[in-house]
Amino acid sequence: MEIFRFMDDFPEIVPKRLLLVSGASSFQGIKEVLEMYRDRINRVDEIEVTLERCELTLADFQFLISFANLRKVHFSGMSLKMVRRGLIHNTALMEHPKLNEIVFLGHEINDWSGIQLPSVLNSLDLSWNNSTDISTLIIPTNVNDVYFNKSNIHNLEILSNKIPSNLTTLMLTIKSITGNTWPVDLDILLLNDNKLDDRALKLINDFIGWPARLTNLGISNNELTKIENLSNLPRWLEILNISMNPLVCDDNQQTPFEFPHGLTNLNMTECKTSDLHFLQFPTSLKNLTLAGNRIVDISSYGHWQKLVNLDTLELFHNLIDHLDGWIIPPNLTKLDLQVNPITELNSKFPLFNDNYQFKLSDLNLARCRITKIEVDHIPASLKRLNLSMNRLNSKFEFPPSFKQLSHLDLSENEITSIVFKNGEQSQLQSLDLGKNSILRGVASSGLGIVGINQFYDDLELHLGKVKKRKFNINSLHVFERGRL
């Protein structure tokens, strides 16, 4: 094993943190390391042990927790039924000085009666056991983060007497919403992958209420269709994930739905949204994800210019077929438009019009349907442009404006030749021509080397000297002025 070689070759090194991982269905390898170098490992500040699908005996568990510097154990897909009896009134576990994070995924312990977890425990994950009897579990008062994904939680009332009042993170799969309280200091609430429908979310929104201090809420992959059932979200909310909910636009809605005014990250991936006019995004947004929807007209949202803090916009896999007249947010730096049926790039898209000023640095138009490019201007800020897997074919007329880019990806098109025009000095650091058809078939002829050298002579005349002339010209080319 590499770790034995390292420990032997560098006996003077004592790391601050040691992470031991085994996914080989055996604890023996980790045990040998811990036994052979015990004196040295005891001087490490903290140890983390991750095991997957291993057979663990009670003696093995006792051996692990005998290390006073053990900070985290992560067991995944491991039944602990045979160990359970030894955990009851286990003094070494209860009084462990450093074990503050426990992850038991698929543990198969249903009854936790008599099992006392370390008093220093800060994070507890008992997910993936649908028969857990939470009423038998005692959670130490210092725990801040609890994860009960698929853990047989029927309602909030079951948790009311179990969860510490100072809890800040709660991940929960819940079968029904009943009860009337949340932990007071809850900061993160993750209710993803439940079957919460409009009725359940309306109950929380209108009657139970959301935790007042919540900053991060995840309700991804539920059955929310009416976004108005989120009208009373906490005012301090910063991160909201409502992806994979089948939202329905109400044609009778008089005013747009407003998100909390301090929201910075919003994920609406795969919400089946076709129109944005019924939404009002807050000006505080920094990251907005609208991927995998049915948006056709991106200009249907009329307030893009108000999103002055927006840095990243994800529009991957929609139905946008043109960008005419769409003025992007003024301070946007990254725009992802992959997999949209866009066929042409020209100055009708204000980004490519010198009458506007933008700060965009990264534009991804991969896997669209672009066949034609007529771009005389790009913003000085734009440094990375991805046009891979489009439908650029035959003779590609290289726009002089593209020389301002640092990285240009034209890979996986159908380009057979490139024609350059005189223009400004190139700033390109890389040009990806992978899987195109330039000089395809010529290399095997007597003119192969001549044709390749002529290609590079022309390329270097207009774009600068490449670091390496390759026999396969349909590949990534790096220029001497910069690095990838």
Secondary structure in 3-state letters for 349-378 = CHHHCCCCCCCCCEEECCCCCCCEEECCCC
pTM over 0.85: yes
Q: Is the dihedral of CA 304, 307, 310, 314 positive or negative?
A: negative
Handedness of CA 134, 138, 141, 146 (dihedral sign): negative
State which H helix or E strand residue 116 sits in. none
For 305, the token pair is: 């210019």
Looking at residue 483, its pLDDT comes to: 44
Please list the pLDDT of the chain residue by residue as tens digits (484 residues): 566 676 666 777 788 899 988 876 678 888 888 888 898 889 999 999 999 998 889 999 999 999 999 999 999 999 999 899 999 999 999 999 999 999 999 999 999 999 999 999 999 999 999 899 988 999 999 999 999 988 877 766 777 777 887 889 988 876 566 666 677 788 999 999 988 899 989 989 998 889 889 999 999 999 999 999 999 999 999 999 999 999 987 666 778 999 999 999 999 999 999 989 889 999 999 999 999 999 999 998 999 999 999 999 999 999 999 999 999 999 999 999 999 999 999 999 999 999 899 999 999 999 999 999 999 999 999 999 999 999 998 899 999 999 999 999 999 999 999 999 887 799 999 999 999 999 886 654 555 677 899 999 999 999 999 999 999 999 999 999 744 3
Sign of CA dihedral 217, 220, 223, 228: positive
Rounded CA gap, 226 and 230, in Å? Answer: 8
Whether the Cβ atoms of residue 197 and residue 174 lie closer than 8 Å to each other: no
Confidence at residue 448, expressed as pLDDT on a 0 to 100 scale: 65
* Confidence at residue 180, expressed as pLDDT on a 0 to 100 scale: 62
- Domain map (residue ranges) of the chain: 1-139
The whole-angstrom separation of Cα 28 and Cα 338 is 47
Smallest Cα–Cα separation from 388: which of 361, 370, 405? 370
The pLDDT value recorded for residue 484 is 39
Given the structure tokens 């139905």, which residue do they identify?
319
Phi/psi at 32 (nearest 5 deg)?
Answer: -65, -40
Task: Output the CA torsion 219→225→227→233 (10° steps).
Answer: -30
Distances (CA, A) of 174 to 35, 220, 268, 302: 42, 14, 22, 38
Q: Could you give the CA distance from residue 313 to residue 333 in angstroms, rounded to a whole number?
A: 9
Contact 414, 393 (CB under 8 A): yes
- What is d(CA 263, CA 271) in angstroms, rounded to the nearest whole number? 19
Contacts of 405 (CB under 8 A, 6+ apart): 378, 382, 383, 384, 385, 427, 428
| CA–CA distances in Å: residue 107 to residues 79, 335, 344, 435 | 5, 43, 55, 48
Task: Give the per-residue pLDDT at 365.
Answer: 98
pLDDT, residue 300, reads 87
CA atoms within 13 A on the CB side of 120: 14
Q: What angle do CA 187, 258, 328 make, to 5 degrees?
A: 105
CA pair distance 215, 220, nearest whole angstrom:
16
Beta bridge partners of 372: 344
